[in-house]
Amino acid sequence: MRRVGVILSILMATVAFSKELTLKEAIDTALKNSYQLKASKKLLKSKEYEYKATKGLRWPTLKFTEMFMRTNVPGWAMMNELNQHRLTMLSSAKYVNMTAMNYIMPAPMFSNPSYPEWNNWQTKLEFKLPIFTAGKIPTGIKMRKKEYDAAKKDVKRTEQKVIYDVSKAYYGALLAKEAIKLAKEAYKSVEKHYKTAKSMYENGLAIYADVLRAKVYLMDVKSKITEAENQYLVAKKGLLLAMGVEDVNPASIEVVGELKFHDTDKSVDYWEYYAINNRPDFQALKERVENAKRMVKFVKADMYPMVGAFGTYQMDDKDNPFGSDGTGWTVGVALTWNVFDGFKTLNKYKAAKETYKYYSHQKKGFEEFIKFSVFKAYANLQTAKEKLKTAEQNVEWAKEILKVTETRYKNQMATMIDLLDTQTMYDKVKFEKSKATYDANIALLDLLFQAGALKKENNGGEK
C-alpha cells in the first residue's frame, strides 16, 4: 500500500505540473517547497519559543518535589525524625550521648547512642519571585524579542532570495524557449533559400554548388533546433529545482510569458535610500546591533544587588509518600550582592561594550556595501539597457540587409555564400536581441534584490 501511495503521489505531482506555468505560479510553488525557506522558518519558530521562555522570568517559579531518604548519618537521621515531629528527649538519645544525665536521675534513663537508620518521605512545594534585578530581566526579555524580530527579517530576506532564484531560472527558460522559436524561424528562412537556389539551378541561373551549400546550411540549422530544445529542457529542469519540485518531468511543463523588458523609472539615489530603509538583512543587523548595546546593560546588572522572595511548604513522613507526620513552612526575602568576583563581571562588562562597538562598525561597513551593491547593479542595468537598444537597432538593419541580399541573389548580383553569411548575421543579431532582453531583465532583477524590493505579491518587486 505504501508503494502504491508513493506512485500515486508522483503521478499526481506530474499531473499537477502537466500544464502551462506562469512566473507567479513558479514563485508561489517555490515559497511553499523551498527547503532553505522552511529551515529559516523553523529557526524563527525556535526564536519565538526562546522569547516566550524568557518572558517567564518575570513570574514566580513553583517547584514540587517528592523525595525519599534513608540514612544512618546522625545529623540527617535526627533532622528527619525532628521534621516528622517524632523526636523527643528520650528518642534523641539515639543520636546524642546523654548517659551523663543518668547520675542525676533516680534511675538510669539513657543508653549509649545507637545511630539507627531512619526513613523519610518529604513532600515539598517551593516558590521564588524576583523583586529587583537591576533591569536584568526586562533587558533580557527585550533582547529575546528583538532577536525574534530580527529572525523575521531573516525569513523575509530568504523569501526574496527564493524569488530571485526562481525568477532568474524562469527568465532563463523563456530565453531557451525563444531560442527554439528563432531556430525554427531560421530554418524556414534557409529552407526558402534552398528552394530558391534549387529553382534557379533548374532554370540554369545558379550552379549546383549553391544548392549544396544551402542544403548543408539547412541541416546545420535543423541540428540547432534540436540543441535549442534540449537547452530548453535543461532550463526547465533548473526551474523545477529552484521551485523545490522533485520527480516531475521537465517535458511535462511549458513556461508561458514573453521575454520583454519593463524598465524602472527610479534613480540610483532612490534605490540606495530604499535599500538602507527596507532591505531585510540590514534591518535585522540593526536590531542585533541594538541588542549588543542592550547586552552591556544586561551584564552591568550583575554589579548590583538582587532581591527576591522565596517560600516553602513541606510535609515529612516516616512511612508514606505524601504523608504528613510533620509539616512546616518558610517564607523570606533575600538580598544577594556579588561584591567581588575577581573582576570577572567587570571584564564581561568591558567585553560587552567592545562587542557593541564591533557590531556598530560592522553595521556601517554593511551599509556602505549595500550602497555599493545597489550602485553596481544600477550601473549594470544601464549597460544592459544600452546593449538592448543597440541589439534592437541591429535587428532592423540586419533585416534590411538580408532583404537586399536576397534580391541581389535572385538577380545574380550576389553569391549563395553572401546570402548565407547575411542570414547567419541576421539570425545572430536576433538571438543577441533576445539575450540582451534576458540580460536586461536579470540586471533589473539583481537591482531589486540588492535593494530588498523583491516581493511575492508583484512577482519581482516594484519598478
DSSP string of 304-364, one letter each residue = S-EEEEEEEEEEEESSSTT--SEEEEEEEEEEE----STTHHHHHHHHHHHHHHHHHHHHH
- φ and ψ at 320, to 5 degrees? -125, 135
Q: What is the pTM of this model?
A: 0.83
CATH of segment(s) 20-58+136-457: 1.20.1600.10
Q: How many CB atoms lie within 10 A of CB 95?
A: 21
Give 263's DSSP letter: -
Provide the angle, in degrees to the nearest 10, between the axes of the packed helices 136-202 and 208-243: 160
Contact 385, 440 (CB under 8 A): yes
pLDDT of residue 302: 93
Q: What angle do CA 58, 124, 138 make, to 5 degrees?
A: 10
CA distances from 421 to 162, 206, 214, 353, 380 (A): 43, 17, 11, 71, 32
Name the residue with cell 522572595: 309
pLDDT of residue 236: 93
Ramachandran quadrant class, 68 (left: phi over 0; alpha: psi -120 to 50; beta: rest): beta
pLDDT of residue 368: 96
Ramachandran quadrant class, 436 (left: phi over 0; alpha: psi -120 to 50; beta: rest): alpha
pLDDT of residue 230: 94
pLDDT of residue 405: 85
Give 113's DSSP letter: P
pLDDT of residue 203: 83
Contact 226, 453 (CB under 8 A): no
CA–CA separation, 179 vs 234, rounded Å?
Answer: 13
**Which residues make Cβ contacts (< 8 Å) with residue 108, sequence separation at least 6?**
99, 102
pLDDT of residue 7: 43
Per-residue pLDDT of the chain (463 residues; tens, 9 = 90+): 444 444 444 444 444 455 889 999 999 999 999 999 999 999 999 999 999 999 999 999 999 999 999 999 999 999 999 999 999 888 888 898 888 887 787 888 888 888 999 999 999 999 999 999 999 999 999 999 999 999 999 999 999 999 999 999 999 999 999 999 888 888 888 888 778 878 887 888 878 888 888 788 889 888 989 999 999 999 999 999 999 998 889 999 999 988 999 988 899 999 999 999 999 999 999 999 999 999 999 999 999 999 999 999 999 999 999 999 999 999 999 999 999 989 999 999 999 999 999 999 999 999 999 999 999 999 999 999 999 999 999 989 988 988 988 888 788 888 888 888 888 888 889 999 999 999 999 999 999 999 999 987 655 444 4
CA–CA separation, 311 vs 308, rounded Å?
Answer: 10
> Nearest-CA neighbor of 239 among 177, 332, 196, 300?
177
pLDDT of residue 462: 45
Contact 67, 126 (CB under 8 A): no
> Nearest-CA neighbor of 274 among 373, 152, 415?
373
Domain extents in the chain: 20-58+136-457, 69-110
> Nearest-CA neighbor of 460 among 255, 163, 162, 37?
163
